Chains A and B, each alone.
Chain A
Amino acid sequence: MEFFLVQLLNSLSYGLLLFMLSSGLTLIFSMMGVLNFAHASFYMLGAYTAFQLSRYFGFWPALAIAPFLIGILGALTERYGLRTVHKFGHVAELLFTFGLFYLIEEIVHLIWGRAPVDYRIPESLNFTAFSIFSTSYPAYRVFMMVVSMGMLLGLFLLLKRTRIGMIIQASLTHPEMVEALGHDVPRVFMLVFGGGCALAGLAGVIGGNAFVTEPGMAAAVGSIVFVVVVFGGMGSLPGAFIASLFFGAIQTFSVALDYSLLDVVAKLGVSLAPDSGWRQLLSITIAQTAPVLPYLLMVLMLIVRPTGLMGTRET
């Protein structure tokens, strides 16, 4: 029970962090029809920028400034990169973001080196929030959840309750009509791209010190976020939310479960020869399958239901 509760809280905080990334990615996708390969690279840049800023100004100013800077960087990328390749078609756009992913990783190598940097949880948040039975739960995890929830609420209010949110929603489905009404749709695109990148940056600021800030973090998180977006349904925010929590749970729980099919077979009273191929196959534990599980689920989902959980379109 204790194990279950702690893991549940961990998976919730991880899932919410995933949603911060996947929400931006899925918004950008529904707008431009482009899957941004470099999205997690902005997450990484957020973490590194916050690390650099927190050395000079401390954590709290970094929390405010870093996402803003990443947002501007994202907007510039859209304006001068993606918009240029747009005329060459979707393949060129996809390749551009792929190249960007590659490039940002190398730039991080160039500036901060290949080893992880010492980006730490601020002292003011480094205490125990509460304890579940005998396990003490760190306050920073709670803080992460609060920030994610706040972001979730803010995003919801922005999209549903404000004028700019209405224009964004309209541009998603009827860009020509919005343009005819006198709105600058390309600028809306730029804002959404920048906003999505800012969210990724924010996730990097609060996730970078909870986990580890190193050049490989973009590739590690990027593929999971990608799975989340595809699984939840491309372009669907509710789908991304459900899938984020789901994969947050899968990743957290499966790593911790050290059972294999061999245990089940043994319970049934069947014993296998120690060197048979079946034994080798059955002795794979759930923890060992953890890295494969998300991709397997994604491929299965794409076969059974190509639009994902709640998506409405395929491309």
Chain B
Amino acid sequence: MSGVLFRRLLIWGLTAAVMILVPLLFKQSFALSMLSQMGIAIIFALSYNMLLGQTGMLSFGHAVYYGLGAFVCAHTLNAIGAGKLALPVMLLPLVGGVAGLAFGIVFGYVTTKRSGTPFAMISLGIAEMVAACALMFPGFFGGEGGIATNRQVGQAWHGLSFGPQIQVYYLIAGWCFLCMIVMFAFTQTPLGRMANAVRDNPERVKFVGYNATRVRYLVFCIASFFAGIAGGLGTINYEIVTAENVGVIASGNVLIMSFVGGVGHFFGPVIGAMLVSFLQSALSSYTQAWLLYFGLFFVVMILFAPGGIASLIMLHLPAARNGLLPRLIPSYLISGAALAVVLGGFITLVEMTYHLEMGEELGKSFKLFGLIVDVTAVTPWLVAAVVFVAGLGVFAATVKVVRRSWDGINVELQTRGAS
């Protein structure tokens, strides 16, 4: 037991150290705002995973609680700025959390009455409803333009005015670390365990005397609370909240984050949130087609790795413990090279199509992989198509190589386990 405790302390200590040290390595403002975005996304994705991963509730409307929390925070921040209210900016996320919780108590009561597909549908219905309300109540939602605010209000506390982005980052990092610990602790409580049982076998939960609906409701409220905290941090970070924040696309985004990271493990959504935030800010500055690549990545993950990145990592743990990982490397390298060729061909085709479509704005020829590509000529199309198709063939062959080396390792693991 003390071994487990020691390992956990080590992991959390390392996490805290990384969060403190990372801004010292990446000093550019671009990196700093991306890190802030990641911290918010981690809280949001973990709160979402309370629903999907821990309790088995597929929600299509989790951004409602993030967004409403953010709106309440924006109004609170404006009230502080106007001198009507005295509250340190540092504690503002708590206001968002309470707002998220309040809306979670109201909407959650309706939503969690059912489970499975009806739950998913009601959550989507509520998300659409709130998004449609955004245009009906311009006083609260600010209409098309949203609610703008200013985080530099009240008196600076020990020199913390939250003007510079670095201070905001540390504020977000602090809240993020705190929320991560609390949410992890939640998984270890009786309620957290009961939530797992509700996910796996609700009928049996009833037999042992628990009310599955109430467990779902409680978890839903807690998840809404953390979503609201993330929303409050979002208000401080961006200083603007728009109706898009409560929209269905935002809800889909957090779903994708958690799923890509892996809903079966606590750290899965953390990876997913970091990866998706990184892709969103990195890819979007390079290509117009980034949403296409992103959607394709999501669909490929569902088809071939439904456990997400976390499950892929866990898959390799037994081999790593027995020192067998080096045996996989050659086959991974070959397969990875083939995949790179496939992607190269595919990306060229997609980018050329984009430039053909938006030729007037972007020009008919552009630079890709260091080469000038002219989309009006036939040759680039042919070359890209041939590379793509041939690459697919080679990749399919290399998958067999990977499978063979995995088979060898599995046999080895079994014999070691037996001996």
- Tell me the A residues contacting B by CB distance below 8 Å: 33, 35, 81, 84-85, 88, 90-92, 94-96, 98-100, 102-103, 106-107, 109-113, 219, 223, 226-227, 230, 280, 284, 288-289, 291-292, 295-296, 298-299, 302-303, 306, 314-315
Contact = CB atoms under 8 A, between A and B. Distances in A.
Given A90-B116, A230-B121, A96 B128 contact: no
B43 to A, nearest CB: 22
B289 A295 contact: no
Contacts of B303: 81, 84-85, 96
Given A102-B252, A110-B357, A113-B358, A85 B129 contact: no
Contact of B292 (A92, A100, A103, A219): A103
Given A91-B58, A306-B118, A106 B289 contact: yes
A295 to B, nearest CB: 4
B117 A90 contact: yes
Contacts, number: 109
Contacts of B274: none
A-B pairs, top 6 by smallest CB distance, nearest first, are A106-B292, A295-B129, A291-B132, A99-B299, A103-B295, A102-B295
A251 B248 CA distance: 21
A292 B136 contact: yes
A245 to B, nearest CB: 20
A32 B125 CA distance: 22
A309 to B, nearest CB: 15
Nearest to B358: A113
A291 B126 contact: no
B135 interface: yes
A92 B306 contact: yes
B225 to A, nearest CB: 22
Interface in B352-374: 353-354, 357-358
B114 A302 contact: yes
Residue of A88, A98, A109, A223 ringed by the most chain B CB atoms within 10 A: A98
23 contacts: A35-B121, A90-B116, A94-B58, A94-B120, A95-B58, A95-B259, A99-B295, A99-B298, A99-B302, A100-B299, A102-B291, A102-B295, A103-B295, A103-B299, A109-B292, A223-B128, A292-B129, A292-B132, A295-B126, A298-B125, A306-B118, A314-B118, A315-B118
A88 B306 contact: yes
Interface of B: 52, 56, 58, 110, 113-114, 116-118, 120-122, 124-126, 128-129, 132-133, 135-136, 139, 248, 252, 255, 259, 289, 291-292, 295-296, 298-299, 302-303, 306, 350, 353-354, 357-358
B196 to A, nearest CB: 15
A85 B125 contact: no
A85 to B, nearest CB: 6
A20 B240 CA distance: 42
Interface residues of chain A: helix, strand, loop or mixed (majority):
helix
Given A95-B259, A106-B289, 15 more contacts: A35-B121, A85-B302, A90-B116, A91-B52, A96-B299, A103-B296, A103-B299, A110-B289, A230-B121, A289-B136, A291-B132, A295-B128, A299-B125, A303-B110, A303-B113
A239 to B, nearest CB: 15
B45 to A, nearest CB: 15
A299 B126 CA distance: 7
A88 B114 CA distance: 22
A95 B136 contact: no
A223 B357 CA distance: 29
Contact of B302 (A92, A110, A306): A92
Contacts of A112: 357
Contacts of B248: 219, 223
A295 B58 contact: no
Nearest to A99: B299
Nearest to B123: A299
B133 A292 contact: yes
Given A291-B135, A295-B129, A302 B121 contact: yes
A314 B295 CA distance: 30
Residue of B124, B133, B350 ringed by the most chain A CB atoms within 10 A: B124
A227 B126 CA distance: 11
Nearest to A89: B306
Contact of A106 (B128, B135, B291): B291
Nearest to A302: B122
A314 B114 contact: yes
